[in-house]
Amino acid sequence: MNTSIIKDWQQGILTLFSYVLIALALSYLFMRDILFNLNSVQLDRSGDGFKNYFAFAYQYNHGEGLWFEGMQYPYGDLLSFADGQPIIYQLFSLLKSIGIDITGHELFVVQSLPILGIILGGFILHKIMRLYDQSNLWSFVVVTACLGLSPQIFRFNSHFALAYMFCFPLVWYMLIKSEREKISKVVLVVVLSALLLIYGFIHPYHLLICAVFLLAYFGVKLLVKKFDWHVALSAIIPIILFLTITNAQDIYDDRTMNPWGSWLYKTEAPDFLPFYGWFSRIFDNILPLRTDYTEGYVYLGILVFVVPSLFTSTFAKKDIVIEKLSKELYLFISASVLVLMFAMGIHLYLTDNKINDWIPTLKHFRSLGRFSWPFYYIAFISLAIYFNNILKATNSKYIKWGLLSFVLIFWFLDVYKYTAFFNRKIEHYKAPNELYQNTRLLDALKTSNLTEDNFQGIIPLPISTEGAEKFNPRDNWFVKTEVIPFSFQTGIPFVGAYMSRTSLSRILKQYQLSCSPYIQKEALEDCASEKDFLIVVHKDEEKQFEDILNRAYFISETEENKLYGISIDSLSETKTIAVPDSISQPIYYDNFDNENQGMLSNGSLSANGETIIQDIKADSLDNINLMFSIWYRIDPDKSNVPLFSIRCLDVDGNIVQKDDYNDKSTFRFEVIGNWVQIKKELRIAKNTSTIRWIVNAEHLSLDHALVTSENDLFYKELGNDFAMMNHIIGKKE
């Protein structure tokens, strides 16, 4: 074998081993002793990290293929929508089939893979530095700082798949090799298409982030009159393949198309500055700094201040510095800036948000700030190359060593403070390996004469609808953190979701299982089993679900929760509404007959912006409890989450009382089809002349607005043999 090839291999192995040590050192900075206990300590006890761990572990132990049945019983969903890292699951499932079993070590796998990502990311960035003629030592220093300040570090205890630091750098490295004709255009298309497709089944954001960068680079090359068709195809082909494969597996066509958050989770000016350490301490009262990490965080380290200052100084020979920078790097920087503009939501501003209608797939990627990652890596490496070239062009060795020492010290301080900040978060949210160690529900069940085989599914009360995006009533933390481990330990799936972009019709059917006895439980018709359901409810919330628990049988309890069983027959019992002997008029009712089709009526109120539902005269309502209720329709697209407001005005129109509420501040809803009812009880303030009931929403349909006092008894017959009695809607007797 050629001697130079052997040396290259030896150097490569040594470099890779060095980044193993660097990755462990950086991981220790923000994990501390947890680094040595990755299978016994969770980095996140109840948030996204816990859910992602559950999805992977449940599928590995109880699932099969890419359809995930651990949540959303009796329907299930695609594993990718549960952030279960489908391609990683498939890999370990394949290894399991040949005898390599990670059962009992799932937590170690999901928490150690991001560390492997640091190793691979460091190795690739190091090779990129070397391609730009940077010394081996300088490359190690720069890449270590780059990894230590990466915005992806904050994904280590949440969306584990988003913590993989090698994903974008590998695409960048392949592009550089292609530009230098080390690989052919056809090979680039094949390799990048396969790579990005794999990324999509790790986490779809990796696919789109890299694809958007490739398209930006293609656009930049067009500006210099080069038509790099292979770059465009490398972006388009994997997107088409991913959507084709996903759509072929996806049986749902009513996922939320306009999730909330695009305008919130983007990169903004404060995200370019650190929220910790020396900078925060000095400029906290001067600049509008963040106080915590955000999705759009993209601080480039001390060089973002140093390089511009040096570049305008008199001792740097700018012609030499510029001459040593390749046109290739300028093009990459330009492309990364375009992607940064995307991360800042410029495309939303320029098109007045219409681009999401033109390209509906973009609506699913609401966390725009993550698209700043290509800019981070390219800009960080580029600034380091600029700085190194400036040092080389500086005649004074004192200035040269002084500048270098200054940068190294501040890199160290930034990395230390950044990782220390994250470590405090980990220490706050860490927990034992809950899926294996939290056996409270399992132990409680064992005290009865029942086993997990007696139940077909778990109903946690209240039912979580996380992922529906447009309908997210509050759930109970204690119920959640006991139900998820119990589901893993027994294999019993649970009703409800802790995932993203669920089917709206299915999640609403599931939520009906927690509605009043007047609501038909449509999901029960889709259950293949006749077994009972296991109900888990927090002790403080039993009274809220008394109407359900009265039909159930008590099983056992833990310190926080109670367990009940309920048969399908008992759960499906539906009450009817009888005509009352006496009827009184409510304070206010409207079914909006003059508008478009409503819920069991001929009309509805259309709200687009702040809309007054009604101004109610309140001359005799001082200090009286009123109940407000209204139904609104949830559509996959167009409509958003409404914010309701009740404002008590005096005779001069001044607000004397104000109460804002929405789904997250409401405990329990009624659901019929895709209509949900939200209620609010309020004691009217003294000196109230007018009660102004307002909704702020977009493209929202509302119906059956009702306000009653404690002594009112309102009755109205609706369509399809339904009736309304006060704030209840159900079938007529």
Identify which of 471, 464, 512 has the alpha carbon closest to the alpha carbon of residue 640.
471
Indicate the pLDDT class of residue 355, thresholds 50, 70 and 90: confident
Give the side-chain half-sphere CA count within 13 A for 403: 24
Q: How far is CA 435 from CA 53, 64, 131, 288, 561, in A?
A: 9, 19, 45, 41, 17
pLDDT for residue 324: 54
Burial classification of residue 236, based on how many CB atoms lie within 10 Å of its CB (0-12 exposed, 13-18 middle, 19 or more buried): middle
E-strand ranges in 597-663 read 605-617, 625-633, 643-649, 655-661
CA distance 346 to 29: 36
pLDDT for residue 322: 56
Identify which of 493, 563, 562 has the alpha carbon closest to the alpha carbon of residue 529.
493
- What pLDDT, in 10s, does the model give residues 526-544? 999 999 999 999 999 999 9
Share of the chain above pLDDT 70, in %: 96
- Measured from the Cβ of residue 284, the count of other Cβ atoms closer than 10 Å reads 12
**Assigned token pair, 11:** 């150097």
Give phi and psi for 68, each to the nearest 5: -100, 125
**Assigned token pair, 297:** 């965080």
- Residue 638, classed as helix, strand or coil, is coil
The pLDDT mean for the chain works out to 92
- Mean pLDDT in residue range 640-653: 94
Indicate the pLDDT class of residue 366, thresholds 50, 70 and 90: confident
List, as one string, the DSSP characters of 275-304: SSHHHHHHHTTTS---SS--TT-----THH
- Residue 428, classed as helix, strand or coil, is helix
Identify which of 364, 327, 133 has the alpha carbon closest to the alpha carbon of residue 220.
327
**Assigned token pair, 323:** 């001459």
Share of the chain above pLDDT 90, in %: 78
Domain with CATH 2.60.120 in the chain: 588-731
Helical residues (DSSP H) of 184-228, grouped into ranges: 185-200, 204-223
Indicate the pLDDT class of residue 318, thresholds 50, 70 and 90: low
Look up residue 619 and give its amino acid: D
Assigned CATH topology for domain 588-731 = Jelly Rolls (2.60.120)
Give phi and psi for 491, each to the nearest 5: 80, 0
CA distance 226 to 229: 9
pLDDT for residue 258: 65
- Mean pLDDT in residue range 268-281: 92
Give the side-chain half-sphere CA count within 13 A for 303: 23
Residue 724 has pLDDT above 60, yes or no: yes
What lies within 8 Å, CB to CB, of 122 at 6+ separation is 19, 22, 23, 143, 144, 147, 165
Look up residue 201 and give its amino acid: F
Contact 315, 419 (CB under 8 A): no
CA distance 54 to 23: 26
More confident residue, 472 or 217: 217
- What pLDDT, in 10s, does the model give residues 87-100? 999 999 999 999 99
Indicate the pLDDT class of residue 350, thresholds 50, 70 and 90: confident
This prediction's pTM:
0.93
Identify which of 542, 309, 277 has the alpha carbon closest to the alpha carbon of residue 412.
277
**Assigned token pair, 261:** 């958050």
Number of residues in the chain: 733
More confident residue, 351 or 190: 190
Contact 633, 672 (CB under 8 A): no
Sign of CA dihedral 279, 284, 286, 288: positive
Residue 173 has pLDDT above 90, yes or no: yes
Listed range (263-277, 401-415, 444-458) with the worst mean pLDDT = 263-277
- What pLDDT, in 10s, does the model give residues 26-77? 999 999 999 999 999 999 998 899 999 999 999 999 999 999 999 999 999 9
Residue 286 has pLDDT above 90, yes or no: no
pLDDT for residue 3: 78
Q: How far is CA 142 from CA 27, 318, 380, 426, 578, in A?
A: 17, 22, 8, 26, 76
Contact 563, 533 (CB under 8 A): no
- Mean pLDDT in residue range 421-442: 96
- Mean pLDDT in residue range 272-277: 93
Contact 271, 298 (CB under 8 A): yes
- Mean pLDDT in residue range 547-574: 97
**Assigned token pair, 168:** 């974008």
Angle at which helix 3-31 crosses helix 106-131, to 10 degrees, equals: 130
Residue 607 has pLDDT above 60, yes or no: yes
Residue 14 has pLDDT above 90, yes or no: yes
- Mean pLDDT in residue range 339-365: 80
Indicate the pLDDT class of residue 259, thresholds 50, 70 and 90: low
Give phi and psi for 671, each to the nearest 5: -135, 125
Burial 315-353 (b: 16+ CB within 10 A, else e): ebeeeebeebebeebebbbbbbbbbbbbbbbebbeeeee
